[in-house]
Amino acid sequence: MEQDKVLALLNSVKDGGTSPEEALLKLKTQPFEDVGYAKIDHHRGLRHGISEVIYGEGKTTEQIAGIVSVMMERGQKNIMVTRLSAISAGELEKLCGLEYDPVSRIGIVNREPTASPHGLIVVAAAGTSDINVAEEAAFTAETLGNKVERLYDVGVAGLHRLLSHLDTIMSARVVVAVAGMEGALASVVGGLVACPVIAVPTSVGYGANFSGLSALLTMLNSCSGNVSVVNINNGFGAGYISSLINHIGE
């Protein structure tokens, strides 16, 4: 929404022509910017508490740079680009100062430290092969202003590795459990903690893993009532939801 429209709306509230509740609804539902190949939602942060995140896969470098440029003009901070290739990241570093994490494949533009709530998010990965998805969750949660503890290679094939970190996982406000193969880690963690567990199935595994489908079905059928599941390899979604949970009441 342009500044003159916002000003007119605020003056209407001041004069009594519009109630504060009506004005808030208009601010939440109206503004986006059409740049031809994308409609950029400038008030995502007003509605969700988190600004729009750019999904990089399938977009050209020029398209990503154009979206980032418009968001920067509107004063957006911590602009995230997920599933970004190293080649595009290198070009965007020159175009808009993007900072890139090659493990999570997330880029950040206009980075600004954000205040962390008191709660802890623990990201637990069953195996080293799951780390890229786990890092997508951890990096997302950190960017959104959370304290994150990583526990990697703590799968059920060696359960003592997980149990050696009981103090950490039991002090968490949210646990993100990332696992491929049979995906049992989420149920095990869910049986140990009182907090929500966000399960992330990965495509890691042999043939009958069906590119993560077996882990997904195991997690969906968990008998631990505090386990919820995101899609296969969706570390970003898990980090996003864990941040929302961690900020409740802040």
pLDDT at position 2 is: 46
Mean pLDDT split into 10-residue runs, the chain, 250 residues = 63 85 70 70 71 88 90 83 93 89 92 82 96 96 94 92 92 96 94 96 93 95 95 97 89
Distances (CA, A) of 114 to 131, 144, 241: 24, 7, 17
Among residues 108, 159, 153, the alpha carbon closest in space to that of 131 is found at 153
| 158-131-77-244 Cα dihedral, nearest 10 degrees | -40
pLDDT at position 199 is: 98
SS3 107: strand
- In the chain, the domains with their CATH numbers are 32-109 (no CATH), 120-246 (3.40.50.1970)
- Considering the entire predicted model, what is its pTM? 0.84
Pairing mode, strands 33-34 and 54-55: unpaired
Residue burial 29-49, b: 16+ Cβ < 10 Å; e: rest: eebeeeeeebebbbbbeeeee
